[in-house]
Amino acid sequence: NAGVTQTPKFQVLKTGQSMTLQCAQDMNHNSMYWYRQDPGMGLRLIYYSASEGTTDKGEVPNGYNVSRLNKREFSLRLESAAPSQTSVYFCASSEDKGRTDTQYFGPGTRLTVL
Amino acid sequence: EDQVTQSPEALRLQEGESSSLNCSYTVSGLRGLFWYRQDPGKGPEFLFTLYSAGEEKEKERLKATLTKKESFLHITAPKPEDSATYLCAVGPGGGSYIPTFGRGTSLIVHP
């Protein structure tokens, strides 16, 4: 099993450009998450999807949109990138059988917005 | 509001020098406390889950313990390869299943 995969690994954007970060998991997990990690701030939840067909805002959703394409895939879109969105983005998944479950993380996408 | 505080922020040890990392939490009904290890440039990797006070789990040189207000990650005779950032997260009570993460402890073990 590959676990959680993310593409791309690195990306440089100019202010105002758009892009989509892709995430896929092969563990048949119900829940998927997008986090950003900044120095001194820890992991902050952007959006999550408790099950296929549902998405909800996390702590820092402004400037982002998500799509739960199917059970395996959960994408994060930046419509108009800003320098404040320079960060490392992690996708995670968990089984979540009605309880808080272990999360499995992808390798991350390092995004720089100039 | 759920809160997780990890201390110290950074810890430097000599190889073989045992120590402990602390995770203090405030949550309305703990549904699980999680420890993760994160190596530079990589995603967090799951280590342990603890569900109730008094519970302990071990893996190689690491041992995690849980009380009603905090968790400790004990590192016995650490090696340089144990150098990493260790993250703690708590699963909340109520209807949400989204864990809250601490900011982590950066551990460096010198040979």
- Cβ-based burial of B11 (10 A; exposed 0-12, middle 13-18, buried ≥19): middle
Local structure of residue A73 (DSSP, 8 states): B
A96 vs A53: CA distance, rounded Å: 15
Q: Please tell me the predicted confidence (pLDDT) of residue A41.
A: 82
Q: Please tell me the predicted confidence (pLDDT) of residue A100.
A: 62
Any idea what the Cα angle at residue B103 is, between residues B99 and B106, rounded to 5°? 130
pLDDT values of chain B reduced to their tens digit, one per residue, 111 residues: 778 999 999 999 999 999 999 999 988 777 889 999 999 999 999 999 998 899 999 999 999 999 989 999 999 999 999 999 999 999 875 556 678 899 999 999 999
A32 vs A4: CA distance, rounded Å: 10
Distance from CA of B98 to the nearest CA of A (A): 7
pLDDT band at residue A99, thresholds of 50, 70 and 90?
low
Task: Check A42 against B87: CB less than 8 A apart.
Answer: yes
List pLDDT tens digits, range A22-33. 999 999 999 999
Contacts (Cβ under 8 Å, ≥6 apart) of A107? A5, A6, A9, B42, B43
Task: Check B91 against A107: CB less than 8 A apart.
Answer: no
A58 vs A49: CA distance, rounded Å: 10
The amino acid at residue B52 is: S
A85 vs A60: CA distance, rounded Å: 11
Task: Check A50 against B97: CB less than 8 A apart.
Answer: yes
Neighbours of A79 (CB within 10 A): 12
Q: What is the mean pLDDT of residues A34-57?
A: 91
Q: Please tell me the predicted confidence (pLDDT) of residue B50.
A: 93
The token pair at A38 is 């900044």
Closest Cβ–Cβ partner in A41, A96, A106 for B43: A106
Q: Put the strands of the sheet holding B56-59 in their side by side order.
A: B3-7, B19-26, B70-75, B62-66, B56-59
Q: Please tell me the predicted confidence (pLDDT) of residue A97.
A: 63
Q: Please tell me the predicted confidence (pLDDT) of residue A51.
A: 87
Closest Cβ–Cβ partner in A31, A45, A102 for B46: A102
Q: Please tell me the predicted confidence (pLDDT) of residue A16.
A: 97
Any idea what the Cα angle at residue A30 is, between residues A29 and A35, rounded to 5°? 85
Q: Please tell me the predicted confidence (pLDDT) of residue A50.
A: 87
| Displacement of CA B106 from its chain's centroid (Å) | 11
Q: Strand B62-66 to strand B56-59: parallel, antiparallel, or no bridges (unpaired)?
A: antiparallel
Contacts (Cβ under 8 Å, ≥6 apart) of B109? B12, B13, B14, B15, B78, B79, B80, B81, B82, B83
- Residues in chain A with CB shorter than 8 Å from the CB of B43 are 4, 90, 92, 105-108
Task: Check B87 against A43: CB less than 8 A apart.
Answer: yes
Q: What is the mean pLDDT of residues A39-47?
A: 89
